Structure 1
Amino acid sequence: MTTLVRCLVVSSTQRRVDHAITIEGDVETVFDLIADIARWPQFHRSAVHAETVHANEKGELVRHWALAGDAAVRAWQTVRRTDRPGRRITFAHMEPEQPATDLRGEWVFTELTPNRTRVELSHQVVAPTGADLGPLLDRIAQESEDCLATLRDTAERRADLDELVVSFTDPLFIAGSVEDAYDYLYRADLWPERIPHVVGLAMTEDVPNVQFFDMDTKGPDGSTHTVRSVRICLPNHLIVYKQISLPTMLDAHTGHWRFTETPEGVIAEARHTSTIKRSALSQLGGATTVAEARRYLRRLLSGNSMSNLRLAKAYAEERAGF
């Protein structure tokens, strides 16, 4: 059970928010689930993308993107220091959300038994005297509760998730410019005209390079499915996506399109990571096993994304004169 001190008044300008949870899992597994920021979007509902900008002996500069509802994304940067021997991870926000002038915190992992871990998450907030910190403290409290609950669920289901999570990458060489290859997949608003299995798509991009869209796709059996996704677009390098509303047989689906320039052209890769919903296996047939569902998903998702990559290849190579 999560315990919470909603707000400890340290001084007239400083507040501290503490959470703790006990997890039935070994300390290394639990520690790794927080240390590995690339895995967060698959298991944390609000997390969309996180990446290390640079790292040195003093720590890492990390960029984060997270959902704020179903139609907006919040982005921020932290400096993070990971102390594995001490089982502690500290972080400090580069530009704290107003009215805070400083926002930092830490994760502490304590081994209670070989298969039981206590996790403590604390935040320290500094603001001018008299500042209204209520909304910020409430959001920190809610996000901390959600994060710790997800951490416990993920750690305690590790063996099950090892079986249910399907993750793979498919690459394709393109003899064209990285700008053209990227643009073809960035312009999702044109997909109904360009990609056969996409039959409809409504997209918004209120913030440059942050896209939300509702997409209708046609499956191999002719049925139509609608999913809502968010995408973070890093021009000519990476497009990261996360499905917000999901097909009924999945608990999560994230992935990316990555573009790597070479002397000869571009290596474009499509990555998918999906979590199968065990309770929905019957949709593929009454006796469908997880292994069969994994093969079905790999075939379906890989087929769609490789089709998209081949279309991007044709577009970029035609523009390059090939």
Structure 2
Amino acid sequence: MSEISEISGGRVHRLRHSVEVAAPAGAVFALLADTARRPLYSPHILHIERLDFDGVRERLRVWESAGGRIRSSLQARVRHPHERRIEFVQLGHGTPVESMSGEWTVEDGVGGGSVVTVRHEFTVVGDRDDDAAGECLVAGDNARAELESLRRVAESRVGVDDLVLSFEESVRVNGPGELLYDFLYRAADWPGLLPHMRRLKLTESSPGTQILDYDVLLPDGAVRTAGAVRLCFPHAGRIVFTQTAPSAPVAAHTGEWSVLPDEHGVRVIAQHSVLLDETAARAPAASGQLATGPAARAPSAMEVVRHRVRQAIGRTSLATLELAREHAESGVLTLSRRTVTPAASLP
């Protein structure tokens, strides 16, 4: 259970949240220090770009959901592994936050467990009470959600590496990267083109920040409503995404669409990172799944779940990539036909 301290009086506001975790302190600290996977463990973190890292200090660009808004900031983190402590400070932020800093600590608990605590110190522009109370609510909600997610992952009966599934699909394209990116960017056009996409509503809260609400057709014929936030980087040919309402057995799903020109042409890639729900591993494994011969051992429940999730996501991902390829290559063909000039008649 999280505990919250009262907001202090004066200009600087302080918050403290903590949770007991039935896992060793060293293992919990390793999760906190894993910047690359943090969007999987932190429900409010949409995406992180590491700008530099020397093994102890790192500078990050972080996109997060904050009180229904999407905001980004520059952040610095300093690790103190021997103390199991991580300091953080925001280097850039938007109103009403004027400054934000704090630290994560992991201490030994009873029975081989640990206690994780996150502290925040912040100020708001103009010292407005309403702004301070609003930021307290946002920081508190995000801290509680992150601590609870961290606890679930750390206490999992299976290893963290078994809970995380990372893979990619790619297609080589005989066409310009601009047309590929254009298709991936215009996701609102996907219904009617992709068989699994039944409905999609796309809004841009700011240029390059897309919020998706959509319905997808599942293999069993059911239709599921889902959502995602996408951050678009057209000059780099990248679109990163985070699902906002994943369904079991998926606990979190992040990824990236990227268009990469090389010496052989253009390759379009879909990368996926999935955090599985630990309770999925408790379901009985389907008989015969993944077996390769009479002597093959029966797969574990988690192996079956990983295989099914990999197949399901890979199938829809590859279908999208193939359609992007067709879009780019047909665009080139159409353009070439339009630019053909008939030969001049001889006199």
| TM class, shorter-length | 0.7 to 0.9
**Shift in Å, 1:104:** 1.0
The separation in 2 between residues aligned to 1:177 and 1:98, in whole angstroms, is 40
Q: 1:284 to 1:259 in 2, by over 3 A?
A: farther
Equivalent residue number for residue 31 of structure 1: 29
Equivalent residue number for residue 124 of structure 1: 121
> Aligned to 1:303, which of 290, 312, 315?
315
Alignment of 1:221-232 (within 5 A): 221-232=220-231
Equivalent residue number for residue 175 of structure 1: 174
Q: Which runs of 5+ in 2 are unaligned?
A: 290-300, 337-347
Q: Does the 8 Å contact 1:52/1:61 carry over to 2?
A: yes
Q: Percent identity?
A: 28
> Aligned to 1:109, which of 68, 83, 106?
106
Equivalent residue number for residue 19 of structure 2: 21
Report whether the alignment pairs 1:266 with 2:266. Answer: yes
TM-score (norm 2): 0.78
The separation in 2 between residues aligned to 1:277 and 1:86, in whole angstroms, is 29
How many correspondences in the alignment?
319
1:156-179 alpha-carbon deviations (Å, 9 max, x no partner)? 126266545433222232333332
- The residue matched to 2:37 in structure 1 has which SS? helix
Q: 1:280 to 1:57 in 2, by over 3 A?
A: closer
Equivalent residue number for residue 151 of structure 1: 150
The separation in 2 between residues aligned to 1:73 and 1:89, in whole angstroms, is 24
**Shift in Å, 1:21:** 2.9
Equivalent residue number for residue 72 of structure 2: 75
- Residue 150 of structure 1 aligns with an amino acid whose one-letter code is S
Q: 1:6 to 1:262 in 2, by over 3 A?
A: farther
Which structure would you say has the larger Rg? Answer: 2
Q: 1:174 to 1:157 in 2, by over 3 A?
A: same
The separation in 2 between residues aligned to 1:273 and 1:15, in whole angstroms, is 36
The separation in 2 between residues aligned to 1:188 and 1:48, in whole angstroms, is 19
- Residue 54 of structure 1 aligns with an amino acid whose one-letter code is D
The separation in 1 between residues aligned to 2:52 and 2:176, in whole angstroms, is 27
Q: 1:17 to 1:197 in 2, by over 3 A?
A: closer
TM-score (norm 1): 0.84
Q: Does the 8 Å contact 2:180/2:328 carry over to 1?
A: yes
The separation in 1 between residues aligned to 2:306 and 2:55, in whole angstroms, is 40
- The residue matched to 2:310 in structure 1 has which SS? helix
Q: Which runs of 5+ in 1 are unaligned?
A: none
Q: Does the 8 Å contact 1:254/1:272 carry over to 2?
A: yes
The separation in 2 between residues aligned to 1:242 and 1:144, in whole angstroms, is 19
- The residue matched to 2:36 in structure 1 has which SS? helix
The separation in 1 between residues aligned to 2:200 and 2:8, in whole angstroms, is 48
**Shift in Å, 1:305:** 0.9
1:90-138 alpha-carbon deviations (Å, 9 max, x no partner)? 1111234544432211112234579422323212224578542222223
**Shift in Å, 1:209:** 1.5
